[in-house]
Structure 1
């Protein structure tokens, strides 16, 4: 960290302690200051990992709106898209170093620091959904393991919380139909995190790229197939212009959630009520984000078909079975690291108990859907 950056951080912490929180000198000065100065909001600089036009920027704005309203304007958030200060994959370092105060991202984007990052986003699939794994983070010991990884093992000056549980990510976009493992072998494919290791195990050549670089990479032939996350993001950045075969359902990234990062010094210097607002607005935004996702993802999927000429299919059982076999190979390798094993043991125990309840208790929704909308699922 540079001396200039450290000086800036110290100055900001001093201001928050003596200005926003209250110190003896500030208290005396405030008596003679205009009331409007005492009410000046704390500005939190927050960068996302998303292009300005992506639906995930809309979801980040749902968070910022809730923080500003719940704080009564005492906090305002300067929300910035990917690249405004640092690249999409660099936000963890930027938050830890105090270059920005906060970030809206996903854990796999700092997978280069530790493969264990993927366990908090796109780890092995033991039979649970994204909701199962979000519950593991908050009720099953995941938050403490995340703290151990980020603070104790990696020494990062951050707090992190998980937000919206994402619907399982599609296998993605292909120029030609793919129905067997042989069809995907040798393809140059974009994904991130442990999913990159998984699909390489299946014979694909993987590039890890931010969302904004995917379509240009397809156009230049750097990749010839890809996934990002959802129909809305894919449609907004023009996936339908470079491929027409869209495969839903996959085990490569079945349980991801948004990650909210905060610089520890920035957070610790806030009053307790503002700290709580920043923390619990993550949970509030998870509800609003999921509602927006269900509305927009389904609408954009239909319009990709009706207006974009896209053929939508479910990933074949042959490919799904091969993904599980590839996970088995990866898990055996990952478990040689003690921390990785500790996290996966925790996740397995949680999923065995919780997903058993979820799966046993869940009605066959496909049967009901087919009853009321016959033939659509088999199209």
Structure 2
């Protein structure tokens, strides 16, 4: 009987401890609260690019059910736009929203993720190479080679960027010679090869530099950004179409230490949310860019197609630039060859398969537009 009482006492004591532990567990979990992270974009708050960064954070916050809360600050809030990679790598920031060409000074091969003609690929095709053609692994290798403690997620395919804003239309390649011009990434080398004096400036500094005469011409990205940044205040001539940044995408950087420390489920949500944000950004860009393009034209901006002679010259100079860099940089050459192999297959399929939509555009909206009869 004594033995039975002792066993019963032990059982009740154990049950009480288990119950207490069970009651305490939710309290501990609740006390931990959501994970808070501070990001910075490389864009002024008035630029649609910063809006894209806020959209990205909101999608992550929503899809994690509030378990992760990302705050996004504009360029310069913590570090300059070109200082984002170092800040995220060192943990000064938990993450950031920008473009890889802003780190061009760290490793020139980063420019191959968007600063150039893309070997006939558009930005969405370049992202396909990144995910399925070996680009992701090469980018990890690249960042490791420069000691960057980051997780990089390219997303958000951009449309072809304009040649830029000028004092007067440019008709031939020689018109670029001697111009004080703003661009970034490997486009610096391309425009220098075409005779321009290049100054790499972040987006928020371009218009003031043009206004003060420090630049004769400049490119940034798209109708919405250019309008918000004030390009129409310093120029009324915009040259459309260029190969200098034909296939660029955004990049979200995460502190590797912070990202790896998150629960596996949260990391999976982030990866999938990034792809969802990528498509949403592309849809929003079509809507907003087209509206701002129309309003810029109505406001007196004159748009011109970049002459084919300039486009052809860009390709020729770009070939010389990448050949030289591949000879100097083994990783650059490895990435270049990977892109070329993927592009040859993917663009052959695209060119043979996708119908040219110009005929349909002319049919519905040209001089004898069918849309008027529908």
TM-score normalised by the chain length of structure 2:
0.90
- Structure 2 counterpart of 1:215: 207
* Within-5 A mapping of 1:48-63: 48-63=41-56
Q: Following TM superposition, by how much is the alpha carbon of 1:125 offset from its aligned partner in structure 2, in angstroms?
A: 3.2
- Asked if residue 110 in structure 1 is aligned to residue 103 in structure 2, the reply is yes
* Within-5 A mapping of 1:183-194: 183-194=175-186
- Structure 2 counterpart of 1:21: none
Output the CA distance in 2 between the equivalents of 1:51 and 1:30. 48
- Structure 2 counterpart of 1:322: 313
- Structure 1 residues 32 and 362: CA distance shift in structure 2, 3 A: closer
Is the 1:120–1:146 contact (alpha carbons within 8 Å) kept by the matching residues of 2? no
RMSD after superposition: 1.9
- Asked if residue 199 in structure 1 is aligned to residue 191 in structure 2, the reply is yes
- Structure 1 counterpart of 2:250: 258
Output the CA distance in 2 between the equivalents of 1:92 and 1:279. 20
- Structure 1 residues 28 and 184: CA distance shift in structure 2, 3 A: farther
- Structure 1 residues 375 and 181: CA distance shift in structure 2, 3 A: farther
Give the SS at the match of 2:272: helix
Q: Following TM superposition, by how much is the alpha carbon of 1:38 offset from its aligned partner in structure 2, in angstroms?
A: 2.9
- Structure 1 residues 148 and 30: CA distance shift in structure 2, 3 A: farther
Q: Following TM superposition, by how much is the alpha carbon of 1:28 offset from its aligned partner in structure 2, in angstroms?
A: 7.1
Q: Deviation per CA, 1:346-378: give whole Å up to 9, x if none.
A: 00000000011111111110111011111499x
Output the CA distance in 1 between the equivalents of 2:23 and 2:345. 56
Is the 1:246–1:312 contact (alpha carbons within 8 Å) kept by the matching residues of 2? yes
- Structure 2 counterpart of 1:348: 340
Matching residue within 131, 134, 137 for 1:138? 131
Output the CA distance in 1 between the equivalents of 2:230 and 2:367. 29
Q: After the TM superposition, which of the residue ranges 54-63 and 91-100 deviates more from structure 2?
A: 54-63
Q: Deviation per CA, 1:143-167: give whole Å up to 9, x if none.
A: 000000001x111101101101110
Give the SS at the match of 1:328: helix
- Structure 2 counterpart of 1:44: 37
- Structure 1 residues 72 and 326: CA distance shift in structure 2, 3 A: same
- Structure 1 counterpart of 2:284: 292
Q: Deviation per CA, 1:33-62: give whole Å up to 9, x if none.
A: 857843621101111000011101111122
Give the SS at the match of 1:189: strand
Q: Following TM superposition, by how much is the alpha carbon of 1:208 offset from its aligned partner in structure 2, in angstroms?
A: 0.3
Give the SS at the match of 2:118: coil
- Structure 1 residues 292 and 30: CA distance shift in structure 2, 3 A: farther
Output the CA distance in 2 between the equivalents of 1:360 and 1:314. 25
Point out where structure 1 has 5 or more consecutive residues left out of the alignment: 1-26
Larger radius of gyration: 2
* Within-5 A mapping of 1:1-379: 31=24, 34=27, 37-38=30-31, 40-151=33-144, 153-307=145-299, 309-336=300-327, 337-375=329-367
Q: After the TM superposition, which of the residue ranges 122-131 and 206-215 deviates more from structure 2?
A: 122-131
- Structure 1 residues 221 and 376: CA distance shift in structure 2, 3 A: farther
- Structure 1 counterpart of 2:12: none
Off by >6 Å, runs of 4+ in structure 1? 27-30
Q: Deviation per CA, 1:262-308: give whole Å up to 9, x if none.
A: 1111011110111112222211101110111000001101100102x
Is the 1:30–1:38 contact (alpha carbons within 8 Å) kept by the matching residues of 2? no
Is the 2:118–2:126 contact (alpha carbons within 8 Å) kept by the matching residues of 1? no
- Structure 1 residues 376 and 262: CA distance shift in structure 2, 3 A: farther
Q: Deviation per CA, 1:193-250: give whole Å up to 9, x if none.
A: 0001001000111100000000100011111100001110000011001011111110
Output the CA distance in 2 between the equivalents of 1:241 and 1:298. 20
Output the CA distance in 1 between the equivalents of 2:178 and 2:242. 19
